[in-house]
Amino acid sequence: MASAFSHAVAALSLGTCFYRPGVSKRVWLAGAVCSVIPDLDVVGFRFGIRYGDFWGHRGFTHSLVFAALFTAVVLFVCFRRGAPGLGRFPLTAYLFLATASHGVLDAMTNGGLGVAFFSPFDNTRYFLPWRPIRVSPLSVGRFFSPQGYLILKSELLWIWLPAVAFAALVLMPRRKQPGATMN
Ligand SMILES: [Zn+2]
CA of 1 to the centre of ligand 1 (A): 4
Mean pLDDT of 65-90: 96
CA of 31 to the centre of ligand 1 (A): 15
Burial letters 118-156, b for 16+ CB under 10 A, else e: ebeeeeebebeeebebbbbbeeeeeeeeeebeebbebbe
Those residues whose beta carbon sits under 5 angstroms from the ion ligand 1 are 1, 39, 106
Mean pLDDT of 113-140: 91
Say whether the peptide bond before residue 137 is cis (omega within 30 degrees of 0): no
CA of 103 to the centre of ligand 1 (A): 6
CA of 106 to the centre of ligand 1 (A): 6
Task: Flag the least confident range among 58-72, 131-145, 153-167.
Answer: 131-145
CA of 77 to the centre of ligand 1 (A): 23
Q: How far apart are alpha carbons 91 and 174 in whole angstroms?
A: 20
CA of 96 to the centre of ligand 1 (A): 15
Would you place residue 67 in the very low, low, confident or very high pLDDT band (cuts 50, 70, 90)? very high
Nearest to 114 by CA among 41, 58, 39: 58
CA of 59 to the centre of ligand 1 (A): 9
Mean pLDDT of 75-85: 95
CA of 23 to the centre of ligand 1 (A): 28
The answer on pLDDT for 170 being more than 60 is yes
| Count of C-beta atoms within a 10 Å radius of residue 64 | 17
CA of 69 to the centre of ligand 1 (A): 17
Nearest to 90 by CA among 17, 174, 33, 35: 17
CA of 172 to the centre of ligand 1 (A): 31
Bridge partners of 95? none
CA of 132 to the centre of ligand 1 (A): 16
Would you place residue 148 in the very low, low, confident or very high pLDDT band (cuts 50, 70, 90)? confident
Helix (H) or strand (E) holding 93: helix 88-106
- 18 neighbors 83 (Cβ within 8 angstroms): no
Q: How far apart are alpha carbons 15 and 27 in whole angstroms?
A: 9
Would you place residue 49 in the very low, low, confident or very high pLDDT band (cuts 50, 70, 90)? very high
Would you place residue 130 in the very low, low, confident or very high pLDDT band (cuts 50, 70, 90)? very high
